[in-house]
A and B are shown apart, each in its own frame.
Chain A
Amino acid sequence: MSITQNMLNAMVQNNIEFVTTVPCKQLSGIIELLEKDERILHVPSNKEDEGMGLCAGAYMGGKRPCIIMQNTAIGVTINTLVTLIQYYRMPLPILISYRGEVGEKVQCQVEMAVHTKALLEQLKIPTYHFHEPKDANEFDGILNHTFMAKKPVAILTDANFWSSIS
């Protein structure tokens, strides 16, 4: 079974039933699998802060959420992360394509990559970085940890990770 499918299975094992996405080229494979997966409600959003609002509602309605987005969206979501997700103590796994790392072809993506980890650290968001295929083995544990901690948690997935498993 593919690592991408294993990651979706880990979401289901952790009772995630509501996932919102804003696409990224690196995330196209997992979004395609997600759309086909009847175990999870997929509600695409137009902007990532809107997506986090949907996730907050789903969580309060009893469905564990997850958001899948690009690292450029960290800029878009800082206020929502701080004044909604963290302020009301809600769990939210954030599966992030870490664009702008080694292997990147679009120069502009590097500009946000250099700020990505610093911003997450400033926001005190627990952050994990998948670089090698084996790193995905931790996904199940990270999701479990997120809902235990009731915090937003970032999982950065870089170009090397996605190109190694595709």
Chain B
Amino acid sequence: MIRADILKEIIPIISDKLVVSNIGLPSQELHMLDDQPTNFYMLGTMGLASSIGLGLALSQKETVIAIDGDGSVLTNFGTLPTIANNVANNFILLIIDNGSYGSTGDQPTYTGGKTSLAKVAEACGCDNVVECQASETKEILEAAIQGKKMTIIVSKCQSGNIPVPVIDIDPAVIRYRFMEEIKARN
């Protein structure tokens, strides 16, 4: 399975949830497959999906799912100690770990080599760290949503992308409709 296959499987359970989606192809795939005002698409700023997600979870009541990638977590490693030490039980960090920088031509990342993000997250003090195979992601994510405990999921999948259109929504509109949805739910 590649990232888009995981997204297709989890869309039924994340469609009505607040989702912060990583820069590049992950956001573009989610936008093409299931555009919702509850999706915050990152159009730039590699690495900060988990930080935006945590800030959002700490500031309101609804469940927040940040969909991140291995390359982005590697570029913002400082996020893991911050997450570990500021527990938000409405926060789920789903790291889709395909061992590559998908949006830039599938260059390998170190998680395809010796580095385990799950072990790093645990060493940083994160509780409820689950590493799983791509095919198990839906079930584990569903359990995490029901469990109402901050959870880090590292979903190991194959490298690969599907053709997607660019996101032609103004960033201020993405932000505005996301905030209106959050206001209505809190």
| Stretch touching chain A among B94-102, B104-112, B141-149, B168-176 | B168-176
Are A62 and B171 within 8 A (Cβ)?
no
Chain A residues lying within 8 Å of B59, measured Cβ to Cβ, are: 17-18, 57-58, 60-63
Measured between C-beta atoms, what is the minimum distance from B90 to chain A in Å? Answer: 10
Task: Report which of B51, B172, B183 forms a contact with A57, defined as CB distance below 8 A.
Answer: B51
Could you list 10 A-B pairs, sorted by A, with CB under 8 Å? A18-B59, A46-B82, A53-B50, A53-B79, A54-B58, A58-B55, A61-B55, A63-B60, A80-B45, A84-B42
Are B82 and A54 within 8 A (Cβ)?
yes
A interface residues (Cβ-Cβ under 8 A, vs B): 17-18, 41, 43-47, 49-63, 65, 79-80, 82-84, 87-90
Measured between C-beta atoms, what is the minimum distance from B100 to chain A in Å? Answer: 22
Are B186 and A56 within 8 A (Cβ)?
no
Are B56 and A49 within 8 A (Cβ)?
no
Are A60 and B178 within 8 A (Cβ)?
yes
User: Can you name the residue of chain A whose Cβ is closest to the Cβ of B172?
Assistant: A89
Chain B residues lying within 8 Å of A62, measured Cβ to Cβ, are: 59-60, 179, 182-183, 186
Measured between C-beta atoms, what is the minimum distance from B114 to chain A in Å? Answer: 23
User: Can you name the residue of chain B whose Cβ is closest to the Cβ of A85?
Assistant: B45
Chain B residues lying within 8 Å of A60, measured Cβ to Cβ, are: 40, 52, 55-56, 59, 175, 178-179, 182
Q: Which of A58, A61, A63, A65 has the most CB of B within 10 A?
A: A61
Measured between C-beta atoms, what is the minimum distance from A87 to chain B in Å? Answer: 5
Q: Which of A54, A58, A60, A87 has the most CB of B within 10 A?
A: A60
Instruction: Provide the B10-45 mask, 1 if CB < 8 A to any CB of A, else 0.
Output: 000000000010000000000000000000101111
Chain B residues lying within 8 Å of A87, measured Cβ to Cβ, are: 43-44, 171
Q: Tell me which residues from 136 to 154 in chain B have a Cβ below 8 Å from any Cβ of chain A.
A: none
A127–B57 Cα distance when bound, in Å, is: 30
Q: Does B86 contact A (CB under 8 A)?
A: yes
Given A60-B56, A61-B56, is A50 in contact with B51 using a C-beta cutoff of 8 Å?
yes
Given A83-B44, A89-B172, is A53 in contact with B182 using a C-beta cutoff of 8 Å?
no
User: Can you name the residue of chain A whose Cβ is closest to the Cβ of B56?
Assistant: A57
Chain B residues lying within 8 Å of A52, measured Cβ to Cβ, are: 48, 51
Task: Name the prevailing secondary structure of the B interface residues.
Answer: helix
Are A50 and B48 within 8 A (Cβ)?
yes
Chain B residues lying within 8 Å of A50, measured Cβ to Cβ, are: 47-48, 51, 76, 78-79, 82
Are A57 and B54 within 8 A (Cβ)?
yes
Q: Does B71 contact A (CB under 8 A)?
A: no
A43–B81 Cα distance when bound, in Å, is: 11
Are A53 and B44 within 8 A (Cβ)?
no
Q: Does B53 contact A (CB under 8 A)?
A: yes
A18–B86 Cα distance when bound, in Å, is: 13
Are B56 and A88 within 8 A (Cβ)?
no
Are A84 and B44 within 8 A (Cβ)?
yes
Which 9 residue pairs spanning A and B have beta carbons closest together? A57-B55, A53-B51, A61-B59, A83-B44, A46-B78, A53-B48, A57-B56, A54-B55, A61-B60
A87–B79 Cα distance when bound, in Å, is: 22
A57–B66 Cα distance when bound, in Å, is: 11
Measured between C-beta atoms, what is the minimum distance from B58 to chain A in Å? Answer: 7
Chain A residues lying within 8 Å of B54, measured Cβ to Cβ, are: 54, 57
Chain B residues lying within 8 Å of A47, measured Cβ to Cβ, are: 76, 78
